[in-house]
Structure 1
Amino acid sequence: MAVDVLTFGLNHVSAPVSVRERVSFPLDVVKPALDGLRSAFGASVKEAAILSTCNRTEIYCAAEPQVQEHLPSWLAEFNRVEAGSLQPHLYQYHQNDAVRHAFRVASGLDSMVLGEPQILGQMKDAVRAAEQAGALGTLLHQLFQRTFSVAKEVRSQTAIGTHSVSMAAAAVRLAERVLGDLSESNVLFIGAGEMIELCATHFSATKPKGMVVANRTLERADTLATRFMAKSMKLSDIPDKLAEFDVIVSCTASTLPILGLGMVERVTKVRRHRPMVMIDLAVPRDIETEVGRLADVYLYSVDDLGRMVQSGTDARRAAVVQAEAIIETRVQGFMHWMQSREIVPAILDIQQAADLVRESELERARRALARGESPELVLEQLAHGLTQKYMHGPLAALNRSETEERQQLMALLPRLLPRVDRRR
């Protein structure tokens, strides 16, 4: 059965963070999920990869077409979520549309921050994870290699990445909107990944009073803190130290909240109700949503920051048309490659049949030479034998054909027959 390229999932446009966090895949869950996916569908799913970020969860498959209608149920069951609650937020693409979607995602055209570059690295991580899980084959490998190439082309030939208002920059603006000048503020970063590193870079530029990095692994916290002349601490120290901080930025891979309502409520009393800005960039969320109801806490989610950065995208929208044109051309190129693969078995069959004819006629010619027959006569018989056998199939099909089929064959024959340069 034919194999399609399929993509399905949800993102920041189709689903709020409260839905996205329920179907996110931490890195250590990706391999079991890919194993489970292939186990559930058997040979119907040939290849698969999972892209899971704070803004999207998407599954890319090389699979038989009928798989498409059952993928949403698998996603809900694997994450122990009611399928009906996911269905309104899911999108599905196949063939051209799936390829186009992959190209747009990697190029930053489908991001919360138009043109942001982080998604390309996240996509490469997803491909690496799929390779390590043994879930990647020729088709998806080719798709993703072309995806990375298209993303590079879009970024180098258009202005899609210029004037970017990043999530990290938006986090600083939100903190300044509440607290004003941050030079007297203490900032706590929870986590030590790429997003926290970006945020630390932007907050460092405001010259805050102090910065601390908290992480489950103290060594990683130390490494990041050293870059920004900050301090480090373990996650387990947060309850005792939280009251010291005016700004908290959190982005970890934890599946459970790190900061709960009870903890933060006690901290606000210790702080004598001085305002705190909490920015939760994690999916699933690191900070319980109820924390936002406290009078002195200003809690912002990744979606809140996304709405803020939209205002900075106007300067890049003109580049979108150019980027879409590049992507459309590359989609057609990939689909042509896919269609070419479909005729490979037929080409191999033709070549094998031709080889059998060649070997048969060569063996006959060798026997004739061994009997002492004239080489010139043997060559003449070899050429005649090859010609007759190669022409037998087309001529027989033409003779057996009826009117309409014959017209089709007559139109095709000039394109199938070899051309000879008579000037030689």
Structure 2
Amino acid sequence: MFDAHIAALVLHQRSAPIDARERLLEIVTPWSVIPDRAVLATCHRVEVYLAGAAAEGAGDLASDLGRQGFGDPLMRFHGREAVTHVFEVTSGLDSAVQGESQIRGQVRAMLAGAPRSLDPLLRRLLERALGLGRSLRGASALASVTRSVGSLAVEEVARLLSEPERAAVLVVGAGETGALAVRALSRRVKTVVVANRDRGRADALARSVGAETIGLADIETSLTRIDAIISAADTRGTLLTDSLLAPRLARGPLALVDVAVPRSVNSAARELPGLIYRSVDDLQGACALSAGEIERIRAACAHEADRFMREASERGAARTIKDVRMHADGLRLRQLDRALRRLGHLSPRDRRVVETLSARVMNSLLHEPTVMLKKQPERGEHARALFGMGREQS
């Protein structure tokens, strides 16, 4: 099988706690501007997708991260296995709620925020993953999956509250996860309050479900009437601090479900007496698909991965054939020029005969290698080595 020079480094909730994922995210976030790397960070995972030379060096990169404490939990995929993994992630099979659609929006946002110089192979991979996720959702049981991390957070809040139907819940963040939580809460609790950096976005969301809105600066004074909080905002501990929460906790317990990664509640606040704190790792995942449907979707991802690898192989073969011909023609022209300088007595007609002969000899010599490369494109690197050429760039 042709090696598409794609690799993935994965740190998932299943193998690494949230502390480790936060630490890795801090390390790899600057990599998102490097053309041969793409960084996907969600509630449950931090993943780095690599192409070209970076993919070939994935082992060294993993070893380096291993020396920083990520060795055992860090998973590494290469070639077809990496492509299949990206397709399964984007389809939602690897999510806490299997089949949820929010992951496609996160992959789409990652691709939209990538540099224009993003490696073409990596861009094609992500575009293909999004297209596959869209088609699977329209042609399988994925369309029936409506649960999300936001709904898991709402279920946890409802479980922690003694009387959810009489409770007031604050949702910090009106992005996709926060919006899903607000909509689910509106059917479970008495009052939903939305706080968001963009007040207009919060107002629009609140109007759609009959919720209230406040500014971030008003959270402290509003906490007196709040029974629980769901935080889905990337505030990295700067908003829900111990000094903000302590006065409210002096009045009684407070449930706080923090689905942000990095966490939006700082370490000092998480230890406050009376705070019932849950991170995304404390939420119980859900399987919304049957075993048979999961296997069908996995098979579709594997089939599409084979197709992607085959197309990458053919594309690589076409580039190799073109490069070999250009290399050979350059050699032909240099040797032809040397020969014609020694054959200055030839007439223009005879010179054209020699030129035509040189081109026909080159074409004859390249015919069999060209046919073989079309049949076995995975031998492209061998052809380059045989002709003394450098490695192909993706």
Q: TM-score, normalised by structure 2?
A: 0.77
Q: 2:40 aligns with which of 18, 33, 51?
A: 51
Q: Specify the alignment match of 2:381 in structure 1.
A: none
1:157-180, Cα deviation, whole Å (9 max, x unpaired): 332453554323322322222324
Q: 2:293 aligns with which of 313, 319, 336?
A: 319
Q: 2:263 aligns with which of 260, 282, 285?
A: 285
Flag the structure with larger Rg: 1
SS at match of 1:205: coil
Query: Counterparts in 2 of 1:30-41, with a 5 A limit?
Result: 30=29, 32-35=30-33, 38=34
Q: 2:184 aligns with which of 198, 202, 208?
A: 202
1:201-233, Cα deviation, whole Å (9 max, x unpaired): 001122x33222122333333333233332222
Q: Specify the alignment match of 1:341 in structure 2.
A: 315
The reply to whether residue 67 of structure 1 matches residue 45 of structure 2 is: no
- Structure 1 residues 25 and 291: CA distance shift in structure 2, 3 A: closer
Q: Specify the alignment match of 2:339 in structure 1.
A: none
Q: TM-score, normalised by structure 1?
A: 0.72
Q: 2:225 aligns with which of 244, 255, 261?
A: 244
Contact 1:25 / 1:52 at 8 angstroms: preserved in 2? no
Shift of 1:266: 2.5
* Counterpart-to-counterpart distance in 1, 2:150 and 2:38: 28
Shift of 1:8: 0.8
Query: Counterparts in 2 of 1:195-274, with a 5 A limit?
Result: 195-206=177-188, 208-270=189-251, 273=252
Contact 1:50 / 1:58 at 8 angstroms: preserved in 2? yes
The one-letter amino acid paired with 2:298 is E
* Counterpart-to-counterpart distance in 1, 2:95 and 2:321: 42
* Counterpart-to-counterpart distance in 1, 2:226 and 2:186: 15
- Structure 1 residues 159 and 269: CA distance shift in structure 2, 3 A: same
Q: 1:85 aligns with which of 69, 73, 82?
A: 69
Contact 2:173 / 2:233 at 8 angstroms: preserved in 1? yes
Query: Counterparts in 2 of 1:94-113, with a 5 A limit?
Result: 94-113=78-97
Quick check: 119-128 or 16-25, which moved more?
16-25
- Structure 1 residues 229 and 75: CA distance shift in structure 2, 3 A: farther
The reply to whether residue 153 of structure 1 matches residue 143 of structure 2 is: no
Contact 2:8 / 2:50 at 8 angstroms: preserved in 1? yes
- Structure 1 residues 7 and 391: CA distance shift in structure 2, 3 A: closer
Contact 2:50 / 2:58 at 8 angstroms: preserved in 1? no
Q: 1:115 aligns with which of 89, 99, 108?
A: 99
- Structure 1 residues 266 and 341: CA distance shift in structure 2, 3 A: same
The one-letter amino acid paired with 2:25 is S
1:64-89, Cα deviation, whole Å (9 max, x unpaired): 2542133247769xxxxxx4322232
- Structure 1 residues 296 and 161: CA distance shift in structure 2, 3 A: farther
Q: Specify the alignment match of 1:182 in structure 2.
A: 164
* Counterpart-to-counterpart distance in 2, 1:227 and 1:74: 48
SS at match of 1:24: helix
1:35-68, Cα deviation, whole Å (9 max, x unpaired): 4xx4xxxxxxx62211112221111111325421
* Counterpart-to-counterpart distance in 1, 2:146 and 2:201: 28
Shift of 1:99: 0.6
- Structure 1 residues 114 and 205: CA distance shift in structure 2, 3 A: same
Shift of 1:301: 1.3
* Counterpart-to-counterpart distance in 1, 2:361 and 2:139: 54
Contact 2:102 / 2:148 at 8 angstroms: preserved in 1? no
Contact 2:36 / 2:119 at 8 angstroms: preserved in 1? yes
Which runs of no fewer than 5 residues in structure 2 stay unpaired? 337-347, 376-394
* Counterpart-to-counterpart distance in 2, 1:55 and 1:94: 21
SS at match of 1:116: coil
- Structure 1 residues 189 and 350: CA distance shift in structure 2, 3 A: closer
1:289-324, Cα deviation, whole Å (9 max, x unpaired): 56555564322211122x2x33xx164332111011
Shift of 1:19: 1.7
SS at match of 1:88: coil
SS at match of 2:257: strand
Shift of 1:262: 4.4
Which runs of no fewer than 5 residues in structure 1 stay unpaired? 39-45, 77-82, 361-366, 369-380, 398-408, 416-424
1:117-175, Cα deviation, whole Å (9 max, x unpaired): 000110011011113xx341321121112111221232233324535543233223222
The reply to whether residue 297 of structure 1 matches residue 275 of structure 2 is: yes
Identity of counterpart residues, as a percentage?
28
The one-letter amino acid paired with 1:71 is L
1:337-377, Cα deviation, whole Å (9 max, x unpaired): 222233224422576679999xx9xxxxxx87xxxxxxxxx
The one-letter amino acid paired with 1:159 is A
